[in-house]
Amino acid sequence: MTHTPIFKGIATALITPMHADGSVDYEAFGRLIDWQIECGIDALVIAGTTGEGSTLTDEEHREVIRYSVERAAHRVPIIAGTGSNDTAYACDLTRFSAEVGADAMLVVTPYYNKATQKGLVTMFNAIADASDKPIIAYNVPSRTGCAIAPATYAELAKNDKIVAIKEANGDISAIVETAALVGDKMDIYSGNDDQIVPVLSMGGLGCISVLSNVLPRETKQICELFWQGDYKGAAALQCKYLPLIKALFSEVNPIPVKAAMAKMGFCSPAIRLPLTEMEEAHAEILYARMREAGLDV
């Protein structure tokens, strides 16, 4: 290993609670941060996809990062979502996040305008050079229309500040190829809750998780069982929670997880357009899967 991992285990891709009028509910946000840490989560990702970073204003985006750093108070690493399809903005937000104390940055590939592989290398290097904090490259082509090729990861690994990957391409073969190319230069985290055990089996260090908003202890236990050598137990938990994972993605993330957290009493289900609150029929299935997973809702 050529660097210290940002975290090992489960990082929750945290929702951003909002009031009914759409403003950020910092009281609920603070309670949620505290609860996640009390449940033993290994890190928190702030203002990523699940945190509705794309519809936060610039002022809100910066404030939720600053607030999270202060609230966490070094109890767990705070990973700030600072990616954008505007590289100059991403660099500026990365600099700000480093200045207020974020431990690392999660940087998604550009969306809509997309990029060539050469453009991706140039963009990630520019953002990495904007601060002294480590970068996690986030690959989610189903949302962005832009995929990071395994050979491109090998090129990014030459920058000693680009130290990890959140891989949500759903392609296990590509993940295997990436692992072979980057070796110990980049840590690999699953970006999909239904692939935690497969990614761990390839030497991955954990998952940046939506499921752990709802089940932080249980999601972390999947990793712990695996690292204890109980591979069957880890696989059994992966399978046990698969119906809930599917329900959490039955509508566009973070619609279902916000509905789930509201049902658990953490926040309102308010969400910003173009996303809308969960359809009732889907919500009833989600609540049933939550109960099957052991939640009292």
Q: Which residues are catalytic?
A: 138, 166
90 in Cβ contact with 122 (< 8 Å): no
Separation in Å, CA 245 to CA 46, 57, 171, 290: 20, 29, 18, 10
Dist. CA 12–CA 14, nearest whole Å: 5
Phi and psi dihedrals of 24, rounded to 5? -70, 130
